[in-house]
Structure 1
């Protein structure tokens, strides 16, 4: 079987198990035919998932393994990180559930870096609790950036709405100090590359939002647009990247406006995520763009308020799985195309087998 025909191995970290993580994971995998499309590998606990599947009346059969290399393509695989009993207290974080969330993420990330899994899909974590127990980052993005040694971009995506944010999990009071012309240029370039390689958009059109109300109103409500954002956009546009703006954030997300662009770069977290989650909450996927490995997650949190009630909607988690697979295949095809384009062809139409130096455009 060729590498393109092999089933993609999807690694799954469980998040805080006292939230809705295990529930949405299992609901996303409940169709018996799901393993026809990919190989799920959960980094968790057999006893924990057996307990929770009984709560939600699900009929999963897990293939328990001790290392990823033992995964079976036609089964739901569980890397059994903890064999002891697990105390479950649905609806609130505990030290045990928080430490297990950290260990699951670390094990899954290591497997991703080692090439044992192809993509990583992460269930929701409690960032505040994880910081208490030694986790050094305010979310998955910063952690993965450190592990992979490269800056990423928080990118919320659906088929027709794609929103990146320039600054991630920082206080609003620090946003203005954390944007710069060079940073915005790098992020737009990264976003453009991601849209080409990961989403197969040949000439992406990227909108950029202003920082201030009404995009600064010509400098009357702030100078960042004039001094930082506009010059960055202009330089990139002059060099062939289709970047436009800055646009006022309060009116950009009208359907007849945002659909004119392939993606938008917002200046800060809530400026981009509040409208995104309003428009695309159930189907939205959080993708960490620009990293050498593919990681997605649902666009919601741990939802302690509904944990254990069997009402959590798994759609966003399911979308995260299939978005990761789609991006993996798109990136693989792009890399194959670029490799083939650079290979010289030999012309064997005559006895001398003269070399044809025409670039292969396959």
Structure 2
């Protein structure tokens, strides 16, 4: 398995988290290889400052037993930990773009994105509010952000929008689209047969039957009923209070 890795913000902890995470993996070192996109010398300088053993090898490094190929791309810059700079944002943006093209060309199986700084990357001219929207446009798909840990999986209906805009965006069509994408992912990516999906409300206490907002009784309840009729490979339940779920 080949994993393409975008470098994230080089003034932050992304590369450190990546290096330390590799030491926690239990996979056979021969089963997985990594391709890291970014300026070679900057990556070496960063790792030199960590209490982590690595060695330089041809075209990359060996890090905690894993081969990490470095595709030497991006502008030269110095590391300024904790600082927000356009240079760091440019490196992050270029790395994401290069990793995406590498994936689209069929050269890797998975994309791993190290954390960016939204302000820094915007200073570089990056036109998207985050990875999610950029990946959606790059692959011609409606993106769905899923956060998961253990048996908990949470999908977001709206992403990177101001609170005041959510009420207008949260319409039945959007709920249906995100639900269908989540249902498909739970079955195909997570291997869950007939998943049960809890849909959370917009208002505190899911509106308390209209006492604290009417969106739930106006259209979210009906949308859930329609989803259960239209998609029989999952069960939709709710709306549940987001503030107490």
What is the TM-score when the length of structure 2 is the normalising length?
0.91
Structure possessing the higher radius of gyration over alpha carbons: 1
Question: Is the counterpart of residue 207 in structure 1 residue 198 in structure 2?
Answer: yes
Q: Deviations over 1:72-108 (max 9, x none)?
A: xx722111114x7531111112221111011111100
Q: Deviations over 1:5-53 (max 9, x none)?
A: xxx1001011010001121122223479863230111112221122122
Structure holding more helix per residue:
1
Q: 1:55 Cα deviation (Å)?
A: 0.9
Is residue 30–residue 60 contact of structure 1 (8 Å, CA) maintained in 2?
Answer: no
Match of 1:45 among 39, 48, 68: 39
**3-state DSSP of counterpart to 1:35:** coil
How well do the aligned residues superpose, as a CA RMSD in angstroms? Answer: 2.1
Is residue 63–residue 76 contact of structure 1 (8 Å, CA) maintained in 2?
Answer: no
1:182 maps to what in 2? 173
1:36 maps to what in 2? 30
1:89 maps to what in 2? 80
Aligned 1:198-347 pairs, distance under 5 A: 198-239=189-230, 240=232, 241-252=234-245
Question: Is the counterpart of residue 76 in structure 1 residue 68 in structure 2?
Answer: yes
Question: Is the counterpart of residue 138 in structure 1 residue 132 in structure 2?
Answer: no
Q: Structure 2 unaligned runs (5+)?
A: 61-65
Q: For residues 76 and 156 of structure 2, what CA distance do their matches in structure 1 show?
A: 40
Q: 1:26 to 1:62 in 2, by over 3 A?
A: farther
Q: 1:245 to 1:88 in 2, by over 3 A?
A: same
Q: 1:99 to 1:30 in 2, by over 3 A?
A: same
Is residue 208–residue 244 contact of structure 1 (8 Å, CA) maintained in 2?
Answer: yes
Aligned 1:107-186 pairs, distance under 5 A: 107-186=98-177
Match of 1:54 among 43, 48, 52: 48
1:278 maps to what in 2? none
Q: 1:62 Cα deviation (Å)?
A: 4.0
Q: 1:216 Cα deviation (Å)?
A: 1.0
Q: 1:182 Cα deviation (Å)?
A: 1.4
What is the TM-score when the length of structure 1 is the normalising length?
0.62
Q: Structure 1 unaligned runs (5+)?
A: 1-7, 67-73, 253-362
**3-state DSSP of counterpart to 1:163:** strand
1:297 maps to what in 2? none
Q: For residues 192 and 23 of structure 2, what CA distance do their matches in structure 1 show?
A: 33
**3-state DSSP of counterpart to 1:193:** helix
Is residue 64–residue 79 contact of structure 1 (8 Å, CA) maintained in 2?
Answer: no
Q: For residues 57 and 136 of structure 2, what CA distance do their matches in structure 1 show?
A: 31
Q: For residues 31 and 63 of structure 1, what CA distance do their matches in structure 2 show?
A: 22
Q: Deviations over 1:306-352 (max 9, x none)?
A: xxxxxxxxxxxxxxxxxxxxxxxxxxxxxxxxxxxxxxxxxxxxxxx
2:3 maps to what in 1? 10
**3-state DSSP of counterpart to 1:243:** strand
Q: 1:221 Cα deviation (Å)?
A: 1.6
Q: 1:177 Cα deviation (Å)?
A: 0.5
| Larger RCO (CA within 8 A; separation ≥ 6) | 1
Q: For residues 62 and 193 of structure 1, what CA distance do their matches in structure 2 show?
A: 42
Q: 1:134 Cα deviation (Å)?
A: 1.2
